A and B are shown apart, each in its own frame.
Chain A
Amino acid sequence: MNDETNDRVAVDVRGVEKHFSDGARSIHVMKQVTLQALKGEILMLVGPSGCGKTTLLSAIAGTLNIESGEIDVMGNPVHKMSDAALTRFRAKTIGFIFQQFHLIPTISVAENVGIPLLIQNAPKKQVIDRARAVLDAVGLGDRWKERPNRLSGGQQQRVAIARALVHEPPLVICDEPTAALDARNGEIVLELFRNVARSPDRAVLIVTHDNRIFSYADRVARMDDGEIVEVREQGHTEPPHFVHEHA
């Protein structure tokens, strides 16, 4: 690996091992996993259900301890950090997008979006201003005062994307961001990933087994039974598109 690519590495996973004990049985969920995510790209992690995608994502996000191996995220040795350091690291470095959105129903859309800034103790005025600006970028600028459950599923996921970007984290992590959405909304969300989330200094890491959306990735890493079996560049000969099942 030359210095130039080294500079572009956002996430560097090397030889990671992890077992889960399921009663008497021990499941080997990560077997010598090695993977890099680069700044400026959308990397999709795909593979059959139960192969360990979410587990790997959790380890990268610093929410799950690993047994051996190394994980560097933006120069932070995640595998070595204390719980308190990990908490600060997550607050600053990572934008989270969940399958079930996890928006707080009793506060407004803008307040939800502002949460990562709130966690970093930003002044209140700045939180709302910045949240509204990001909501504009995802096309929901006029809905900032509403409660999240007044919005459709697709709109809620756009709010979640805004929340993941509001503090400009260098790494955005999404687990099955389109699984709860229909095709139309999935397409809007993926367009946002490409056009709003993706930026030269940020890596976007998406876990999915939704093969309709693979073409939005810059690279696709395929996982099977705890191993990365293939990493493929998407030579974008045609613009990315959403594969409609019945089209």
Chain B
Amino acid sequence: MTALALKMLFGDTAKYMMLVAGLFFASFLIIQQASVFCGLMLWTTSTLKNVAAPIYVVEEQVQQVNETNPLRDTDVARVRSVSAVEWAMPLYSGIQRVRLEDGSFKTVQLIGIDAATLAGAPERMIKGRLEDLRLPNTVIIDELAITRLSLKGAPPIKVGDRFEINDIEARVVGICKAARSFTGGPYIWTTYERALQYTPPSRKMLSAVIAAPVDGVSWEDAAGEISRKTGLKAYVNRSFGSDENDLNTSTVWWYVRNTGIPISFGTTVVIGFIVGVAIACQTFYSFVLDNLRHLGALKAMGMSNLRLSLMLVIQAATVGLVGFGIGLLFTALFAIAAVENQQPPFYMPWQIPVVAFGVIQLICMVAALMGIFRLSRYEPAMVFRT
């Protein structure tokens, strides 16, 4: 019976292709868009990966890492005085403009770290030495900066090259690996003091205090104690979904709640769903109508409604499976290209394909149900009249 169902399905090549194409399109759109959305959300937390301190202390109202609501300089000492804190260092993080030799500007994510300890420095250097950051007017750039800050036609930027940040000279002493920033600009590390020089003056400049707990105290406990003692907000830096006091989690949710990003991606996903429903249901229904004569003859010859329904379910599930499989394959190709190219953002947690598979199969079952309903209204006596 399964064989009969599948042969009937594959026999109608045009409709079969159409069904698979529609469901492929829907799966691809849903999986790819959802993954790009997740990737983009992950990018919002890049600073937390690039400056991998266990604890981030920020101004009370701050809910996400890209929001700079500065602290007082004295807050570093206040955090340091908390007994659970092993060390606490200042952090500057802000978007600044780099002027290239040809006069054009590029935005970058400027990170200022403590010069003495280099706490918050890049973790993986590719070229140059981290310690050289202590030399005058020096910066460490990430890989993306090589393409972003190199002049057209000129050789790519390298260790020893110079550019200007707000009219002040910056000399490249190292290149590192870093996670992509949400804004698309490259990460540039310098010392905290120099970051203040690069930045147009204002009263308060301290974006955050990064800190680590003493041995034997958990990150969460230390963060809790910092909050109680200083009145500042102290987050841990674990990973998305760990808990509400994790800055990654708080950052992602802030973007989900306060930006149009989920809606715009959600719209595309919904369009994929609707297109899938429309094509699958319409094509499958016309496939059933085309075969109604034969299905009706089977019914007259004594095939039960249950088995006929099962045949339609098998057919619908099969096109769903094939369409989804091809959709997943194309998403994988897209993902490989995205990873190679470092953009667009792409992150596919296992929940995405699982949910997408469920959605596609749901579409197919709706299509099958429509066919089953049509067939149930087909009187077996009709076979003598068609």
Contact = CB atoms under 8 A, between A and B. Distances in A.
B302 A98 contact: no
A104 B303 contact: no
Contact of A63 (B4, B293, B300, B305): B300
Interface residues on A, range: 20 to 34
Given A107-B11, A111-B4, A102 B302 contact: no
A175 to B, nearest CB: 5
Given A92-B302, A111-B4, A102 B384 contact: no
Given A98-B297, A107-B11, A90 B302 contact: yes
B302 A88 contact: yes
A143 B58 CA distance: 83
Contacts of A84: 304
B373 interface: no
A33 interface: no
Contact of B303 (A54, A92, A119): A119
A115 B304 contact: no
Nearest to A93: B302
B215 interface: no
B302 A106 contact: no
Interface string A53-65: 0100110010110
A214 interface: no
B385 interface: yes
Interface string A22-56: 00000000000000000000000000000000100
A55 to B, nearest CB: 8
Residue from A84, A98, A111 having most chain B Cβ neighbours under 10 A: A98
B64 to A, nearest CB: 58
B1 interface: yes
B4 A61 contact: no
A100 interface: yes
A91 B8 contact: no
A87 interface: yes
A98 B298 CA distance: 12
A226 interface: no
Contacts of B303: 87, 91, 119
A144 B224 CA distance: 80
Residue from B8, B10, B300, B302 having most chain A Cβ neighbours under 10 A: B302
A92 B384 CA distance: 19
Contacts of A92: 302
B300 A61 contact: yes
Contact of A54 (B1, B4, B301, B385): B385
Interface residues on B, range: 20 to 34
Interface string B369-386: 000000000011101111
A118 interface: yes
Nearest to A84: B304
B294 interface: yes
A90 B301 contact: yes
Interface string B309-336: 0000000000000000000000000000
Nearest to B386: A100
Nearest to B13: A106
Contact of B11 (A58, A63, A106, A115): A106
A64 B301 contact: no
Given A63-B379, A102-B383, A116 B301 contact: yes
B7 interface: yes
B221 interface: no
A216 interface: no
B101 interface: no
Nearest to B382: A63
B12 interface: yes
Interface string A88-116: 11111010101110101111000100011
Given A102-B294, A105-B11, A63 B301 contact: no
B171 to A, nearest CB: 73
B4 to A, nearest CB: 7
Residue from B10, B11, B301 having most chain A Cβ neighbours under 10 A: B301
Given A106-B8, A106-B12, A107-B4, A64 B381 contact: yes
Contacts of B8: 104, 106-107
Nearest to B385: A54
B384 A54 contact: yes
A106 B7 contact: yes
A100 B293 CA distance: 10
A106 B305 CA distance: 21
Contacts of B385: 54
Given A102-B294, A102-B297, A119 B4 contact: no
A119 B300 contact: no
B298 to A, nearest CB: 7
Nearest to B307: A119
A91 B297 CA distance: 11
A63 B380 contact: yes
Nearest to A121: B1
A87 B302 CA distance: 5
Of all A-B residue pairs in the complex, the 4 with the closest CB atoms, nearest first, are A106-B11, A91-B302, A102-B297, A63-B380
Given A54-B384, A61-B300, A102-B383, 15 more contacts: A58-B384, A63-B381, A87-B304, A87-B305, A90-B300, A91-B303, A96-B301, A98-B383, A104-B4, A104-B8, A106-B7, A111-B4, A115-B298, A119-B298, A119-B302
Interface of B: 1, 4, 7-8, 10-12, 293-294, 297-305, 307, 379-381, 383-386
27 contacts: A54-B384, A54-B385, A63-B379, A63-B381, A63-B384, A64-B379, A64-B381, A90-B300, A90-B301, A94-B302, A96-B300, A96-B383, A98-B384, A102-B297, A102-B383, A104-B8, A106-B8, A106-B10, A107-B4, A107-B8, A107-B11, A111-B7, A115-B301, A116-B301, A118-B1, A119-B301, A120-B302
